[in-house]
Amino acid sequence: MSTTLDSYGEETGTKDQLVTPWNHQIASGVELLRNPRYNKGLAFTAEERQAHYLRGLLPPAIETQDIQVKRIMRNVRQYAEPLQKYEALMDLQERNERLFYKVLIENVEELLPIVYTPIEGDACEEYGEIFHRSGGLFISLNDKGHILDCLKNWPEKNVEAIVVTDGGRILGLGDLGCQGMGIPVGKLALYTALGGVRPSTTLPIQLDVGTNNQALLDDPFYIGLRQKRVTGQEYDDFIEEFMTAVKQAYGEKILVQFEDFANQNAFRFLAKYSKTHLVFNDDIQGTASVTLAGVLAALPITGGTLADHEFLFFGAGEAGTGIAELIAMEITKHGKISLDEARRKTWLFDTEGLVTKSRKGSLYDYKKPFAHDHEHIKDLVSAIKKLKPTVLIGTSTQGGSFTKEVLEAMAENHKSPIIMALSNPTKKAECTAEDCYKYTKGRALFASGSPFPAVTYDGKKYVIGEANNCYIFPGVAHGCIISGAIRVDAEMFLKAAETLAEFVTKEDLERKQLYPAFPNIRNISAKIAAGVAAAAYDLGLASKIPKPKDLLGLATSSMYSPSYRHYR
Ligand code: NAI
């Protein structure tokens, strides 16, 4: 077959002159600069430039990685819009992976809100407009029957951890269809930056089963299938094919984190696949673990044990019921009461009001264990006055729903009520930190799902702890990987919560800060990973035999380092 060349010397095959897109890669010269895994930019040494055909391809300056980090941060800080910062960081990840992770690790507190909540939520909303690279696998209904082929097309063969979404319910933003991809990409960046999981072993996946978001379907820049979501058997069969293919491609120990599925599906798939696969759902279990940690950390101030508290959840979805269940498990673990008795200390409140036994007939299964005997109550303030909870947790996606009356009612119940406004992004938070301290007269212990600035009340400065799942999931993933766990057990999330709570210092508590400072997060992840791995060995779920003597040492030393390598 003959092809012609255009003025740039490139082939101009017409439709009847198709050519095969054949190419081979060599890790030198310009290909080396274009390979994000190996590129070091101006940090290539003179010897490396000579040995790898880079002469003339770079300006003469030879820089350290530290200077490169400074330059990136200087540039990122110059952008006024958080979304521009997000794009700049994603560009960096595409250009120079090690530099990206070094920047992220060394500036974790500043950059976390950009690469993770809340800004990654904005990025998902705009994903069609800002899209210029896949960043992971997109598997759509068009790939039915070929999902294994999709996985085989991914260039890395040694994948250990997958984060997968179907975009059904992104953060508190609803159905974003195929534009949910920003979430698996962001979460896996944190697997590496915070949990030390090697980037080459992580795989973000977006399943596209359609979207019911009409605005997206009408948007010319939408990147997904232009059809309504499939449901029922067709949807379940698609997920089943995916879960089967994942094991065929990567084996029994592949970790699959379900992310931002609509809540009914999230509970169903977690229940179904946790028996056959190494899976967890961060929205349910990770959230539960980080929230439990905050409550455990608060106990020295509130006094008493976990079992001495009464919990009310405003919002009874994945987050609310997940937290309620893990709290009940922790009470059972340390007390002499059954799981059912422990569950009776937690109350759920949803769109219909208090979840009670009389509503059992119409409740989803995941709410039923918390449907207790009580008269039905329609409004939150009355529920607080009747039930007298000492802990109020907002997971409702209803911004501002913890009103002055709600907060004042909570202040009646305890000298230091625990109030958590977990809904994300910031505009969805049930109350602000400022209002919480104002209406409880500085007595509450507050934590939020999105970052809030410190608050000064009555001359005292309070730092707002962020119940951020990223304290938990990177360490849990690393622990599963280093132990070769074959299943995830709830005990691992209890262990993670207990470990995280231990990192909260007396000084933190003096500022009413229920979570430790972010800069320490890699150490926290390592300790969590060691605890998770220990649980895997204790429960007979670990496959890496024999059990290493020093799990913490292993968890720490096996963490990915973003420092550049030297090339021969
Ligand atoms: P979901 O959609 O599963 O649940 C939301 C629940 O709120 C549903 O039960 C719904 O019935 C209830 N609800 C809605 N409007 C209500 C109203 N007016 N009154 C009472 N209840 C109402 O969502 P999911 O996954 O539980 O997440 C909830 C929120 O928590 C989201 O904003 C999410 O971003 C946030 N979240 C925060 C986390 C953190 O801070 N670490 C982690 C996970 C979720």
What pLDDT digit, counting tens, does each position of 270-304 carry?
999 999 999 999 999 999 999 999 999 999 999 99
Please tell me the predicted confidence (pLDDT) of residue 518.
Answer: 86
Distance 83 CA to ligand 1 centre (A): 24
Selected catalytic residue, list 187, 367, 428, 527: 187
Please tell me the predicted confidence (pLDDT) of residue 191.
Answer: 97
What percent of the chain is modeled with pLDDT above 70?
95
User: Which atom of ligand 1 lies at the shortest distance from residue 450's CA?
Assistant: 40
Say whether pLDDT at 375 is over 80. yes
Secondary structure of residue 467 in the 3-state scheme: coil
Per-chain mean pLDDT for the chain = 93
Q: Which of 268, 282, 422 to mutate to test the pocket of ligand 1 (most atoms within 8 A of CB)?
A: 422
Contacts of 231 (CB under 8 A, 6+ apart): none
Question: Model's pTM, two decimal places?
Answer: 0.93
Q: Is 116 among the catalytic positions? A: yes
- Protein residues with CB under 6 Å of any ligand 1 atom: 169, 171-172, 263, 283, 287, 290, 314-320, 349-351, 395-398, 422-424, 428, 449, 467-469
Give the residue ranges of DSSP H helices in 155-200. Answer: 182-195
Residues 86 and 119 sit within 8 Å (Cβ to Cβ):
yes
Residues 90 and 127 sit within 8 Å (Cβ to Cβ):
no
- What CA–CA distance (Å, rounded) separates 518 from 451? 12
Max CA pair span of the chain: 84
- What CA–CA distance (Å, rounded) separates 465 from 454? 9
Radius of gyration of the chain (CA): 25
The string of pLDDT tens digits covering residues 299-358 is 999 999 999 999 999 999 989 999 999 999 999 999 889 999 999 999 999 999 999 999
Distance of alpha carbon 462 from the chain centroid: 26
The string of pLDDT tens digits covering residues 141-181 is 999 999 999 999 999 999 999 999 999 987 767 899 998 89
Q: Output the six-digit token pair for 394.
A: 């907002």
Q: Is 86 among the catalytic positions? A: no
Distance 367 CA to ligand 1 centre (A): 13
Q: 54: how many CB neighbours lie within 10 A of its CB?
A: 19
Say whether pLDDT at 118 is over 80. no
Q: Which of 424, 430, 515, 518 to mutate to test the pocket of ligand 1 (most atoms within 8 A of CB)?
A: 424
* CA nearest neighbour of 260 among 234, 286, 237: 286
- What CA–CA distance (Å, rounded) separates 167 from 349? 26
Residues 87 and 130 sit within 8 Å (Cβ to Cβ):
yes
Secondary structure of residue 283 in the 3-state scheme: helix
Residues 489 and 483 sit within 8 Å (Cβ to Cβ):
no
- What CA–CA distance (Å, rounded) separates 222 from 211? 11
- What CA–CA distance (Å, rounded) separates 249 from 277? 13
